[in-house]
Amino acid sequence: MSFRVLALVLTAALFHAFWNLLAKKTNGGVTFVWLMYIASTILYLPLFFYSLNQGHVLVSQAVLWLSIISAILHIGYFLILQKGYRNSDLSLVYPLARGTGPLFSCLAALIFLNEPLKLQASLGLLLILTGVWVITGLGFGKTDSKKILPGIFWGTLTGLFIALYTFNDALAIKRYAISPVVLTFISNIFCTLLLLPFVMSRGREIRTSLGSYKWHIIAIGLLSPAAYMLVLQALKYAPLTVVAPARETSILFGVFMGAGVLHEKNGRRRLAASLLIMAGIIFLSLN
């Protein structure tokens, strides 16, 4: 992995963990997600026009279809993630989502992109699975499964959606040479339009969200696309089987924020499990 790819991925990881901390504090639903997409669209409009001036393709069948698919998958991802945060800890849901995502991503890359899986990657996947098991706390004595199981379910389902949109967007970037800025911006517009029917009758909820979480919405609208576009940019210089796992360094940041900022329980065990996942990520990055 080159220094350029490492810098892109680590910056993306820090941005990603921080906006997830903000999202956990809001416990928002569909209205919050819709407002976030509006904020993101407004904030990134200048960058979108700049990208067009660089000669990037705006309209084609590939851009439209891949953007629509990306929008649907991202909506599912955000709504499921927020559901997980309403029902469980950040330091459980976040690492599960980010830890299982690479497993699904690697399988997709192996099957559909014919990317090779070497011995180091196999060991990495095993370490990630071990870390995920430790984070759940199942089999560790006094764990309350009624509180843990919802977090496991929503975290793993979020990981599946991460893998799906990562694969779709990697296809857009690698095979169709679509600009990350163009793909992300058009996808955000589709997300806003697709969610519109679900928020039209929620005027009071919209006003409440704006009054209570205006700066959270703006920050997430800025940081979420920034983190993802950095990852898409990294995909130009490294294969999906390297970039997708390496971006999960955000797990360490996320677990630390959950334990240190939100004072969630089992912080030490979850940090230790995150180190196992990080070791797995290192092996995967050597692939």
Give the DSSP per-residue string, 20-71: HHHHHHHT--HHHHHHHHHHHHHHTHHHHHHHHHTT-----HHHHHHHHHHH
Most confident of 99-108, 199-208, 234-243: 199-208
Domain boundaries, the chain: 3-285
* The Cα angle at residue 192 between residues 20 and 226, in degrees rounded to 5: 40
Residue 263, phi-psi category: left (phi > 0), alpha (psi -120 to 50), beta (remainder): left
| Mean pLDDT within 200-204 | 90
Provide the b/e sequence for 57-93 (b: ≥16 CB within 10 Å): eeeeebbeebbebbbbbbbbbbbbbbbbbebbbbbbb
Q: Are 182 and 44 in contact (CB under 8 A)?
A: no
- CA distance linking residue 100 with residue 60, whole number of Å: 33
Q: Are 160 and 102 in contact (CB under 8 A)?
A: no
Q: What does the pLDDT look like over 150-199, one tens digit per residue?
A: 888 998 899 899 888 888 888 888 788 778 888 888 999 999 999 999 99
Q: What does the pLDDT look like over 40-91, one tens digit per residue?
A: 999 999 988 887 777 655 667 877 898 999 999 999 999 999 999 988 888 8
Which token pair is 173? 């970037």
Nearest to 278 by CA among 159, 96, 166, 127: 127
Q: Are 99 and 135 in contact (CB under 8 A)?
A: yes
* The Cα angle at residue 110 between residues 176 and 82, in degrees rounded to 5: 75
User: Above 90 in pLDDT, residue 9?
Assistant: no
Which token pair is 120? 């180091």
Q: What does the pLDDT look like over 101-148, one tens digit per residue?
A: 767 767 766 777 676 667 777 787 788 778 877 877 665 555 556 667
